[in-house]
Amino acid sequence: MGTVLETKLETTTTFTQEQEALVVRSWNAIKKNSAELALKFFLKIFEIAPSAQKLFSFLKDSNVPLDQNPKLKPHALSVFLMTCESAVQLRKAGKVTVRESTLKKIGATHFRYGVVDEHFEVTKFALLETIKEAVPEMWSPAMKNAWGEAYDQLVNAIKSEMKPAS
């Protein structure tokens, strides 16, 4: 019986008011540069893990530099915005609030392309580095932990939907 309780405690993490304040403050400071930061975020992912490019069908036959790929920019922006906006509302909602249909679609897509834990870890590192570089004067261990927690909760929601599309 103790193991069930322990498992529940591990999966139920709270996003504190302080974490929320740190995320909201930094998001408000970087929001206006979302498009530029989103592209930096994805370029950082590919710099860390070049093989990740294979996961994106629109990059496979592309012969333009990554930073000029017309499909990468909008994709990067939608991922960056969803991640940041999900983090900002996390405490108020008590959970990740991406529309259920969107979450199912994201989960099925990640499943279909073979996304694994290491991919999520690289993405988390790239996200944290991107935000750190965007707001160096605000960055702190507490802010890193706040964004990390928000990202982890979003990833857990995505992973829960990682199965074939129904």
pLDDT at 69 over 50: yes
Q: Which domains are present in the chain?
A: 23-159 (1.10.490.10)
Give residue 92's pLDDT band: very low, low, confident or very high (50, 70, 90): low
pTM: 0.81
Helices 117-134 and 17-30 pack at an angle, to 10 degrees, of 70
pLDDT digits (tens, 9 = 90+) for 17-67: 899 899 989 999 999 999 999 999 999 999 999 988 888 888 887 888 888
Report the distance separating Cα 80 and Cα 48, nearest Å: 17
- Please tell me the predicted confidence (pLDDT) of residue 12: 46
Average pLDDT over residues 72-85: 86
Report the distance separating Cα 88 and Cα 41, nearest Å: 18
